Amino acid sequence: MPRLALYTFGVLQAPLADPSPATREFYAIGTDVYRRIGAHPGYLARAEPAGGEQGVLFGADWGAWGEFAVPAWYGKGHTADTTALATTLSLWTDLGSAFDAVYTGLHRDALKRRHDWFERSRHPSHVLWWLPEDVTPTWQEGVDGLERLHAHGPVPRHFTFHQPFTPEGTPART
């Protein structure tokens, strides 16, 4: 049975290491969001560093999720002190479960406040795609899909929650 990959990407207004109240607030809510989404029906897994490094993105060992990658338009830092991005790569059983996890509860509350933490962008913030049951998505696949989505719009291979497709490639509804 196909599984759904979800890649999200946003550029933060300040580096993750910034000690400001807004950054601390983003971290605090993020911890709760991850915990709740991890318990959501339909959630299978998310990319986490294999070595358990907290807050390390570039250079971490991501195991089967591949080498960490970011879209070409990300122009901020790559070190622990300068990185200013928030990104996720997760795996779901179905479109409805992923949609529900993202657009309800605490994550929905966080989305309403995204402009407090993230730069506004003309680039898409997420991309979805279907995978065979035994395949783990990679960071590079997420980046490639987001860049294609930005250049060409939603298609059956790379799409959004607002213009989704079934595993067979027909338009879907959320």
Specify the DSSP class assigned to residue 64. Answer: G
- 22-66 tens-digit pLDDT: 888 998 898 899 999 999 999 999 999 988 776 789 989 999 999
Task: Give the rounded distance of the alpha carbon of 37 from its chain centre.
Answer: 12
The C-alpha atoms of residue 124 and residue 121 are separated, in whole angstroms, by: 8
Calculate the average pLDDT of the chain: 94
Mean pLDDT of 102-125: 95
Percent of the chain with pLDDT over 90: 86
Contacts for 128 with CB less than 8 Å, ≥ 6 apart: 4, 5, 6, 7, 95, 98, 158, 159, 160, 161, 164
Tokens 């605090």, residue located: 28
The residue type of 60 is A
pLDDT at 146 over 90: yes
User: Using an 8 Å Cβ cutoff, are 5 and 141 in contact?
Assistant: yes
Mean pLDDT of 112-131: 96
pTM confidence score:
0.96
Residue 4 to residues 17, 45, 58, Cα–Cα distance (Å): 32, 11, 25
- 150-162 tens-digit pLDDT: 999 999 999 999 9
- 81-104 tens-digit pLDDT: 899 999 999 999 999 999 999 999
- Position 145 scores a pLDDT of 98
Residue 41 to residues 36, 69, 136, Cα–Cα distance (Å): 10, 28, 19
